[in-house]
Structure 1
């Protein structure tokens, strides 16, 4: 077995087809079939179930997939970090909610460039479920996500608490006024957004389960629509005060259970942090490095 065998194995699992895997890996189907057969003989078990339409991982194949991703991740890290000297170098792939990237991203890029000039950062913005999935499947080295997180495979560091507020058009006088208007109109991000989930919970607590949603994919769009009087939303207070204080919008406080959000930094427990990731973690203030 070698790393190419594992790459072919992952390709077959991804495409559900020996033919498509061969095309993607620039080889012939007979080679893919032979390499998978060798793996199955080496492990003494079937890795795929085969039908006339597709192939799928067996339980043993699922187990090997987890180890394969871990091995490939470690090998990639070694290639990025091993050199002729002991300086910290490599690449770190970090996931963010868009709101946190807006606030913290530029600061982290600048600090990393000063302290670790040979480390490259790749930021990726997504919703919380996607970020967690990408960390667990080795597509991201780590991610900043809202708490709570209860997963045995993830290490977590508590980073910060931030206040979530109701953001409404500037002519709105009270939360009661917002809820009296019919239909109730909200401006939200797509499914999986923590702010949308909290807005849903708040409205349900008020006995409201039917309301109009306008879905946007950017903070700028959400704020502009609110300013235009189309609806209201939930957003971090710091975002509003830092970037949108000149907008004709108004904020209202929420109860503590909905209005406070804790951000965690998560990464896998089964892979020791690379020197580049350790360097990134060291950017956090010492009083924030609390498990």
Structure 2
């Protein structure tokens, strides 16, 4: 077995097809079939179930794919980290909620470029659940997500606390009047958004289970719809005060248990931190890189 065997195995798992895996890996199907058979003989277990429509991982195959992702991730880190120079360099993939990327992304990029100019950042925006999954599956080196989190495989660092507020059209006098509207209209992000969840929780606490939802996939779109009087939403107070303070909108505070959101940075515990990721963590938490835990 070698790393190329594992790469072929991962390709078959990804595409669900020996033929497609062979095309993606620039080889022939017979080679892929032989390599997978050799892996199954070496591990003494069936790694795939095969039928006319699709190739799927067995339970033993699911175990091996987790180890394969971990091995490939560690090898990639080694390639980026090992060298004769003491200069911190390499590429890291960091996940964000869109709201935090809007606020802190430019600041982090500028500071990293100033202190560690040879580190390249790949930012990705997604919902909380997707970010967690990508870190667990080695697709992201780290991600900023809202707390709380209880996953043993992930290390977490508290980054900041922020206020989340109700954002309504400027002519909204108070929340009591807002809630009496029929139909009650909200502007929300896709399912899985933490701000949508807070909005749902607040409305349920007010005895409201049914209301109209308009789904938007951008901060600007949400603000535009609120300003137009279409509905209201829940967003970080800092986003509104920093970028939308001159818009025809108004904010109202949520109850303390819903209005406070803590952002944490998470990354896998079982993967040694690369110098590039250590540098990024040090900037994110406002400490020197040599103080980051090894």
TM-score higher than 0.5: yes
Q: 1:286 to 1:80 in 2, by over 3 A?
A: closer
SS in 1 for 2:161: strand
SS in 1 for 2:223: helix
Moved more, 16-25 or 212-221: 16-25
SS in 2 for 1:217: coil
The reply to whether residue 285 of structure 1 matches residue 289 of structure 2 is no
- Matched with 1:168 is 168
- Matched with 1:20 is 20
1:80-124 Cα distance to aligned partner (Å, 9 max, x none): 222231211001110000110111111111110111111011111
1:11-54 Cα distance to aligned partner (Å, 9 max, x none): 11111111121122121110000000111111111111222322
The reply to whether residue 251 of structure 1 matches residue 260 of structure 2 is no
Unaligned runs of 5+ in 1: none
- Matched with 1:201 is 201
> CA separation in 1, counterparts of 2:287 and 2:185?
43
Within a 5 Å distance, the mapping from 1:221-236 to structure 2 comes to 221-236=221-236
> CA separation in 1, counterparts of 2:78 and 2:174?
57
Q: CA deviation at 1:198?
A: 0.6
> CA separation in 2, counterparts of 1:272 and 1:255?
40
Unaligned runs of 5+ in 2: none
> CA separation in 1, counterparts of 2:84 and 2:152?
36
For normalisation by structure 2, the TM-score amounts to 0.96
Q: Give the aligned CA root-mean-square deviation in angstroms.
A: 1.5
1:49-77 Cα distance to aligned partner (Å, 9 max, x none): 22232221111111111110011111111
The reply to whether residue 5 of structure 1 matches residue 22 of structure 2 is no
- Matched with 2:77 is 77
Within a 5 Å distance, the mapping from 1:118-137 to structure 2 comes to 118-137=118-137
Cα contact 2:134–2:140 (8 A) shared by 1: yes
Q: How many residues are paired up?
A: 290
Regions of 4+ moved over 4 Å: none
